[in-house]
């Protein structure tokens, strides 16, 4: 019997399409007569549009339309239709709604022309007169306008203030992290096909086709007339969780002109919507003189827009990652004249755990305890935020196996005690954690007359391997070879799926796929029992093995029937299921964990940093595909290194505008910045989290990495830099 | 990008005669096309010079090397003559851009690339270099990547090239042809400081075309180093770069050349500091003094003052590396 594909490091099923250019992305769907839109963005951060002079643009031959708030089609005038599945509290941004400017880079016009070059050129001719108003974009300068974030933080436990005052060791430290932008390779784009009858069929760059469909239906009052497709998404990292303005603008132009329209954003325009918010975080740590935690307080202050409150899980990790009797968490927001932040890979954890894990490193030195031993000393068996046990938690194994792979035991504890020539060597580590979510999801499975199993759900593959792992799960459930299973996604007309995010797709959609296939197994058994093959009469599913395209009595393997035969006799079989998270999950806390070990080389005189080695040990339950999962962790580690050393969107607060808005000046790591990355998945069995026992790996790879790099830099140099990114000037 | 006409002459005289008030010569286009897409440059005519006969690398009778203006950065960096006799130039070129860009970019074009100041590149904000008299937001804004030497009230931008830093150190000569005929320009006189005309990066007159770069015989092949400090390991412009070249005899410096990149509107030379090194032992204390001399008068802004100390250390390191011998 052939091996189940689940757990195998299989190549991506969509790989050949991608490397041969056959996988089409949102801006790549052709159509005769397609028009091209180019967005004009505001140059001021706050104020009003006084006058728009589009005459020069309109006079350019080939220009079809200059769309502004003054001539756009009618749109909804109340907030609810704009509140997509990832909206925060407040009043969502409405593209081209009125004359108000809420942030620099806000779309103020769309020029539509016969080709892209004309549209861009005509865009440069649109003259817009503004009445500027004073703006505020600097979080630190506006801390006095902070308000409490509307989130359900765990209530304080114990008395942190008292415990801090009595602690042998007390640290009060502040960390800061900058604005960062997602920058997926594929810029946001929408191709809106205007169909006869006024319906819209849209190829969009998104992590949620149904989210975009519902949003547009509401905004334009077009229920049932919109279909959104995204068979391929060229990376997103959270930037595709909300419908972005190019989608609305393209739809507006299509409706106004009754023509098909494409709007693709330039790289510079990828800096004109959501981002990871800047944060200022204050931690107080109290411990006894052995390093045992007595108290933790963590206050985070993040930025948001003037029109929406963006919140993320930033400080909760501090209440759950370590065993600590006295904890107080606080989270505040400062509204600024900027766009609303947006979930970005491991939202909240990426920056919150960075601060916590640096503070733990500082405690390790203060208590004179090895940083890894300190983590073990304070290991938590229960999630104290929820007062629940974990469904599984193999973090100890991550620490142990990661440390062994890295060679941590050979570390010399003193800072500045390891060097090679001009280079100071530093070894640092940190813990990572992310929640193991499951959302309601649906899937449909159909075994056809051609012997192919087609499984579908309106989820997305943002490069993570969704096509591949869903195919593996379905192939495994029905005992079919991979090449007889076809998984379909990225179509709003498919079975309902949640947004593709939060590391929940395998858990949510994977469970639905598995259940749909389980339903199909029952149907096939029922069908067999209607056939004259009597050996299966009275058999139950438990008695049967599905393998190699056949159904076989486990107790008597001579009794076997090919699935194709059943279909030939009984016709196509189809099952659609909706799966809710299991009730048993309520009794447990569910999370993924990691241990990250980093080696850096720091030039003592020049401050340059190179991450020469990284080991990331991951506990994420059952890994459906170690290859695609490993890719995700490697990507997360690279990003964590970038977060530690390179990434920062720089705002000119006088202008209220991001200025390094391109990939030349917004630095992400290049190959030459990255040394060896070693990923290992530790064994973690979990019957609670879902029937697959799989937790998802999209976020965990980045969490803790920046802290491990910062801690390694401290070990190398003796310098504690508490603001990211750690550029060479901070180490001189 | 505005509409433009396009010509592709095959003779130098033809190219020059085509040049009008709103013309630009284009070779690799690695910078000009970006600037056009951002509406920073709006030429009405592009004169594609890639068909001109300017692609050879030849030895000169004086023992130097003449490099045609259309030799690609990649071909130049990997040319046997350059690798052997001017390793400093090869190393500087390879420290810049990416392989794809170096394949496209020309020798002449490299001299003419424009600053990567954020404000210069964003045509919705003021910039004296882009629009005379509009202001310089960098002075009170994001100036971490800006100049510490030779800046003016009007402009604190830096020249972005690595290749030019090596050419400055090597005392190259720029060969120029234009409506007024041919002339030779010493490298130090080719680029200029911003003063009150920040829109002018160099001393080329309208319609003038770079035809070649000449390197003198002295290549400092035994003792040279190019050190580039930047925010990531490749594909980033220099915060500070140093081209250091020494002639050493018995531990004593006989000749020294030091050029700095990333710190001024042009590659920065200080002959006084170089001259003071002659006759000194090639050691740390002499290097430190030279660095101090070079940086006398350096002044930073809110975010870039670190470049002064970084330059000091980088000069010492580059001279130390040069003394140890040109790295393979």
- Cα–Cα nearest to A52, from A118, A122, A109, A101: A109
Contact criterion met (CB < 8 Å) for A606 and B235: no
Q: Whose structure tokens read 């990923």?
A: A679
Q: What is the pLDDT of residue B328?
A: 72
Asked whether the beta carbons of A178 and A254 are under 8 A apart, the reply is no
Q: Chain centroid to CA B197: how far? A: 19
Q: CA A103, A105, A107 angle in degrees (round to 5)?
A: 100
Domain B224-323 has CATH 3.30.390.50: yes
Distance between CA atoms of residues A554 and A100, nearest Å = 70
Contact criterion met (CB < 8 Å) for A124 and B309: no
- With cut-offs at 50, 70 and 90, classify the pLDDT of residue A2: confident
Q: What is the pLDDT of residue A565?
A: 92
Q: Which tokens hold the place of A283?
A: 């931690």
Distance between CA atoms of residues A275 and A269, nearest Å = 12
Which residues lie below 8 Å from residue A583, measured CB to CB, with a gap of 6+? none
Using a CB-CB cut-off of 8 Å, the residues of chain B touching A101 are none
φ/ψ (deg, to 5) at A60: -75, 125
| Nearest residue, CB atoms, A124 vs list B39, B236, B313 | B39
The full 3-state SS of A301-322, as one line of letters, equals: EEEEECCEECCCCCCHHHHHCE
Tell me if domain B5-50 and domain B224-323 are identical in fold: no
| Nearest residue, CB atoms, B231 vs list A606, A646, A671 | A646
Q: pLDDT tens digits for A655-668?
A: 999 999 999 999 99
Q: Whose structure tokens read 């001539």?
A: A71
Q: Which tokens hold the place of B291?
A: 């660095």
Q: Which tokens hold the place of A92?
A: 């969502």
Q: What is the pLDDT of residue A531?
A: 84
Q: Would you say the C-alpha torsion A662, A665, A667, A670 has a positive or negative sign?
A: positive
Q: Chain centroid to CA A183: how far? A: 12
Q: pLDDT tens digits for B89-117?
A: 999 999 999 999 999 999 999 999 999 99
Q: Which tokens hold the place of A514?
A: 């598995």
- Cα–Cα nearest to B237, from B170, B315, B158: B158
- With cut-offs at 50, 70 and 90, classify the pLDDT of residue A1: low
Contact criterion met (CB < 8 Å) for A670 and B232: yes
* CB neighbour burial string for B4-24, b if at least 16 within 10 angstroms, e if fewer: beeeebeebeebbebbeeebb
Burial zone of A179 (CB within 10 Å; 0-12 exposed, 13-18 middle, 19+ buried): buried
Q: pLDDT tens digits for B25-53?
A: 999 999 999 999 999 999 999 999 999 99
The correct CATH number of A279-437+586-731 out of 3.40.50.1820, 3.40.50.300, 3.30.365.10, 2.40.40.20 is: 3.30.365.10
Contact criterion met (CB < 8 Å) for B231 and A610: no
Out of A531-535, A537-541, B212-216, least confident range: A531-535
Using a CB-CB cut-off of 8 Å, the residues of chain B touching A609 are none
Distance between CA atoms of residues A660 and A654, nearest Å = 15
Q: Which tokens hold the place of A658?
A: 């991001």
Domain boundaries in chain B? 5-50, 224-323
- Other residues' Cβ atoms within 10 Å of the Cβ of residue A219: 23
Q: What is the pLDDT of residue A305?
A: 98
Distance between CA atoms of residues B298 and A143, nearest Å = 35
> Coil, strand, or helix at residue A83?
coil
**CATH topology assigned to domain B5-50:** 3.30.43
Average pLDDT, chain A: 97
Q: CA A557, A560, A566 angle in degrees (round to 5)?
A: 160
User: What are the CB-based long-range contacts (under 8 Å, 24+) for A144-151?
Assistant: A145/A334, A145/A335, A146/A301, A146/A332, A146/A333, A146/A334, A147/A332, A147/A333, A147/A334, A147/A335, A148/A331, A148/A332, A148/A333, A149/A302, A149/A309, A149/A311, A149/A331, A149/A332, A149/A333, A150/A89, A150/A309, A150/A311, A151/A311, A151/A331
- For residue A534, pLDDT over 90 is answered with no
Read off the DSSP letter of residue A503: T
Q: Would you say the C-alpha torsion B30, B34, B40, B41 has a positive or negative sign?
A: positive
Asked whether the beta carbons of A301 and A332 are under 8 A apart, the reply is yes
Q: pLDDT tens digits for A436-491?
A: 999 999 999 999 999 999 999 999 999 999 999 999 999 999 999 999 999 999 99
Q: pLDDT tens digits for A565-604?
A: 999 999 999 999 999 999 999 999 999 999 999 999 999 9
| Nearest residue, CB atoms, B229 vs list A660, A669, A728 | A728
Q: Which tokens hold the place of A588?
A: 């447990």
Residue B123: closest C-alpha in chain A = A43
Q: What is the pLDDT of residue A3?
A: 84
Distance between CA atoms of residues A326 and A328, nearest Å = 7
Using a CB-CB cut-off of 8 Å, the residues of chain A touching B317 are 422, 605-606
Which positions of A are catalytic? 699
- Cα–Cα nearest to B292, from B271, B273, B268: B273
β-sheet bridge partners, residue A602: A424, A609
User: To the nearest 10°, the Cα dihedral for B120, B123, B129, B132?
Assistant: -160
β-sheet bridge partners, residue A48: A100, A131
- For residue B289, pLDDT over 90 is answered with yes
- With cut-offs at 50, 70 and 90, classify the pLDDT of residue A701: very high
Q: Whose structure tokens read 């695609």?
A: A628
Residue A119 to residues A35, A37, A282, Cα–Cα distance (Å): 9, 6, 48
Residue A612, min C-alpha distance to chain B (Å): 12
Question: For the domain A31-134+185-236+240-271, what is the CATH superfamily, name and number?
Answer: Aldehyde oxidase/xanthine dehydrogenase, a/b hammerhead (3.90.1170.50)
Q: What is the pLDDT of residue A236?
A: 97
> Coil, strand, or helix at residue A655?
coil
Distance between CA atoms of residues B294 and A486, nearest Å = 68
Q: pLDDT tens digits for A177-226?
A: 999 999 999 999 999 999 999 999 999 999 999 999 999 999 999 999 99
Q: What is the pLDDT of residue A681?
A: 98
Q: Which tokens hold the place of A107?
A: 């779309």
> Coil, strand, or helix at residue B140?
coil
Residue A727: closest C-alpha in chain B = B231
Instruction: State the DSSP H helix or E strand holding residue A262, giving kind and residue range, or none if neither.
Output: strand A261-264
Tell me if domain A31-134+185-236+240-271 and domain A279-437+586-731 are identical in fold: no
Distance between CA atoms of residues B132 and B125, nearest Å = 12
Q: What's the CATH number for A440-468+497-580?
A: 3.30.365.10
- Other residues' Cβ atoms within 10 Å of the Cβ of residue A420: 8
Residue A140, min C-alpha distance to chain B (Å): 16
Contact criterion met (CB < 8 Å) for A652 and B142: yes
Asked whether the beta carbons of A339 and A308 are under 8 A apart, the reply is no
Domain boundaries in chain A? 31-134+185-236+240-271, 279-437+586-731, 440-468+497-580
Q: pLDDT tens digits for B210-259?
A: 999 999 999 999 999 999 999 999 999 999 999 999 999 999 999 999 99
Asked whether the beta carbons of A701 and A635 are under 8 A apart, the reply is yes
- For residue A57, pLDDT over 80 is answered with yes
Q: What is the pLDDT of residue B326?
A: 83
- For residue A533, pLDDT over 70 is answered with no
Mean pLDDT of A29-47: 97
Read off the DSSP letter of residue A157: B
Q: Whose structure tokens read 């009984």?
A: A570
| Nearest residue, CB atoms, A606 vs list B39, B144, B229 | B229
φ/ψ (deg, to 5) at B7: -130, 150
Asked whether the beta carbons of A517 and A455 are under 8 A apart, the reply is yes
A586 to chain B, any CB pair closer than 8 A? The answer is no
DSSP readout, B60-121? -TTS-EEEETTSBHHHHHT-HHHHHH-HHHHHHHHTSS-HHHHHH-BHHHHHHPPP--HHHH
Residue B306, min C-alpha distance to chain A (Å): 6
In chain A, residues 393-422 whose CB comes closer than 8 Å to chain B:
422
Which residues lie below 8 Å from residue A186, measured CB to CB, with a gap of 6+? A25, A26, A205, A233, A234, A235
Which residues lie below 8 Å from residue A542, measured CB to CB, with a gap of 6+? none
- With cut-offs at 50, 70 and 90, classify the pLDDT of residue A89: very high
């Amino acid at each position: 019997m052939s091996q189940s594909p689940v757990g195998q490091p299989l190549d991506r099923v969509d790989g050949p399409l991608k490397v041969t250019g056959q996988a089409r992305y949102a801006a790549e769907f052709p159509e005769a007569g397609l028009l091209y839109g180019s967005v004009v963005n505001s140059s001021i951060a706050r104020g009003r549009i006084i006058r728009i002079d589009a005459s020069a643009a309109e006079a350019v031959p080939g220009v079809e339309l200059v769309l502004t708030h003054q001539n756009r089609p009618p749109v909804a005038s109340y907030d609810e239709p704009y509140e997509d599945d990832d909206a925060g509290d407040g009043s969502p941004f409405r593209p081209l709604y009125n004359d108000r400017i809420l942030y620099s880079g806000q779309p103020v016009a769309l020029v539509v022309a016969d080709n892209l070059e004309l549209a861009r050129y005509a865009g440069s001719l649109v003259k817009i007169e503004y009445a500027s108003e004073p703006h505020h974009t600097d979080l630190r300068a506006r801390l006095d306008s902070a308000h409490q974030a509307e989130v359900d933080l765990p209530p304080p436990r114990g008395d942190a203030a008292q415990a801090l005052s009595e602690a042998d060791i007390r640290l009060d430290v502040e960390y800061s992290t900058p604005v960062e932008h997602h920058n997926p390779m594929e810029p946001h784009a929408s191709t809106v096909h205007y169909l006869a009858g006024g319906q819209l069929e849209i190829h969009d760059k998104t992590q949620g086709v149904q989210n975009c469909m519902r949003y547009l239906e509401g905004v334009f009052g077009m229920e049932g007339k919109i279909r959104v497709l995204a068979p391929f998404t060229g990376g997103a990292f959270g930037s595709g969780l909300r419908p972005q303005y190019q989608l609305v603008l393209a739809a507006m132009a299509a409706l106004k002109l009754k023509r098909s329209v494409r709007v693709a954003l330039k790289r510079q325009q990828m800096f004109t919507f959501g981002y990871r918010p800047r944060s200022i975080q204050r931690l107080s740590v109290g411990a006894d003189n052995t390093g045992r935690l007595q108290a933790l307080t963590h206050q985070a202050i993040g930025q948001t827009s003037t029109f929406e409150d963006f919140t993320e899980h930033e400080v909760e990790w501090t209440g759950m990652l370590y065993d600590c009797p006295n904890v107080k968490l606080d989270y505040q927001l400062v509204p600024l004249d900027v766009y609303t932040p947006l979930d970005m890979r491991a939202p909240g954890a990426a920056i919150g755990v960075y601060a916590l894990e640096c503070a733990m490193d500082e405690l390790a030195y203060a208590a004179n305890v090895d940083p890894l031993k300190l983590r073990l000393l304070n290991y938590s068996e229960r999630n104290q935020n929820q007062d629940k046990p974990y469904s599984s938690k193999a973090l100890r194994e991550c620490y142990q196996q990661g440390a062994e792979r890295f060679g941590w035991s050979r570390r010399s504890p003193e800072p500045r005690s390891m060097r090679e020539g001009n280079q100071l060597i530093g070894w640092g580590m940190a813990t990572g954690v992310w929640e193991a979510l499951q959302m309601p999801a649906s899937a449909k499975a159909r075994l056809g007359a051609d012997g192919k199993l087609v499984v579908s759900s309106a989820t997305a593959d943002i490069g993570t391997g969704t096509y591949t792992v869903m195919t593996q799960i379905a192939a495994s459930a029905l005992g079919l070879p991979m090449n007889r299973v076809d998984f379909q996604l990225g179509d709003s007309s498919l079975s309902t799926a949640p947004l593709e995010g939060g590391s929940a797709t395998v858990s949510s959609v994977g469970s639905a796929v598995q259940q749909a296939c389980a339903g199909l197994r029952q149907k096939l058994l029922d069908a067999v029992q209607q056939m004259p093959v009597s050996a299966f009469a009275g058999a139950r599913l438990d008695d049967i093995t599905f393998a190699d395209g056949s159904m076989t009595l486990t107790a008597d393997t001579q009794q076997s029937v090919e699935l194709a035969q059943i279909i030939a006799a009984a016709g196509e079989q189809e099952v659609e299921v909706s799966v809710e998270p299991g009730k048993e999950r309520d009794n447990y806390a569910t999370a993924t964990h990691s241990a990250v070990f980093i080696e850096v080389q720091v030039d003592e005189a020049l401050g340059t940093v190179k991450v020469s080695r990284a080991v990331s040990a991951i506990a994420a339950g059952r890994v459906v595909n170690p290859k695609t999962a490993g890719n995700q962790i490697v990507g997360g580690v690279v990003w964590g290194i970038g977060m530690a050393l390179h990434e920062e969107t720089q705002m000119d607060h006088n202008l209220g505008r991001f200025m390094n808005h391109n990939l030349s000046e917004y630095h992400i790591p290049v190959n030459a910045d990255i040394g060896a990355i070693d990923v290992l998945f530790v064994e973690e069995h979990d019957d609670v989290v879902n029937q697959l026992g799989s937790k998802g790996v999209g976020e965990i790879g980045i969490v803790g990495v920046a802290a491990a790099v910062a801690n390694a830099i401290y070990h190398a140099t003796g310098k504690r830099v508490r603001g990211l990114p750690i550029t060479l000037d901070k180490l001189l | 990008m505005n509409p433009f006409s396009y010509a592709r002459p095959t003779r130098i005289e033809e190219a020059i005669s085509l040049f009008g008030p709103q013309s630009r010569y284009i070779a690799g286009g690695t910078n000009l096309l970006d600037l056009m897409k951002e509406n920073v440059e709006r030429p009405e005519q592009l004169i594609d010079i890639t068909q001109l006969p300017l692609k050879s690398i030849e030895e000169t009778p004086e023992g130097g090397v003449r490099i045609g203006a259309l030799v690609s950065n990649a071909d130049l960096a990997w040319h046997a003559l350059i690798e052997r006799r001017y390793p400093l130039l090869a190393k500087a070129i390879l420290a810049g851009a990416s392989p794809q860009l170096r394949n496209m970019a020309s020798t002449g074009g490299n001299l003419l690339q424009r600053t990567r100041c954020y404000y210069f590149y964003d045509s919705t904000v003021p910039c004296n270099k882009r629009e005379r008299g509009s202001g310089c937001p960098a002075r009170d804004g994001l100036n971490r990547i800006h100049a510490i030497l030779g800046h003016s009230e009007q402009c604190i931008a830096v020249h972005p090239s690595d290749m030019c830093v090596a050419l400055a150190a090597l005392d190259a000569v720029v060969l120029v042809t234009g409506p007024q005929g041919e002339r030779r320009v010493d490298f130090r006189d080719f680029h200029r400081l911003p003063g009150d005309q920040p829109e002018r990066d160099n001393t080329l007159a309208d319609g003038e075309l770079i035809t070649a770069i000449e390197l003198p015989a002295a290549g400092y092949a035994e003792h040279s180093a190019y050190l580039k400090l930047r925010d990531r390991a490749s594909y980033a412009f220099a915060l500070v770069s140093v081209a250091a070249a020494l002639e050493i005899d018995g531990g004593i410096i006989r000749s020294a050349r030091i050029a700095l990149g990333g710190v001024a509107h042009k590659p920065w030379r200080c002959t006084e500091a170089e001259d003071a090194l002659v006759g000194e032992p090639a050691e740390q204390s002499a290097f430190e003094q030279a660095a101090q001399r070079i940086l006398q008068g350096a002044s930073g802004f809110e975010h870039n003052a670190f470049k002064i100390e970084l330059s000091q250390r980088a000069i010492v390191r580059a001279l130390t590396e040069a003394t140890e011998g040109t790295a393979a």
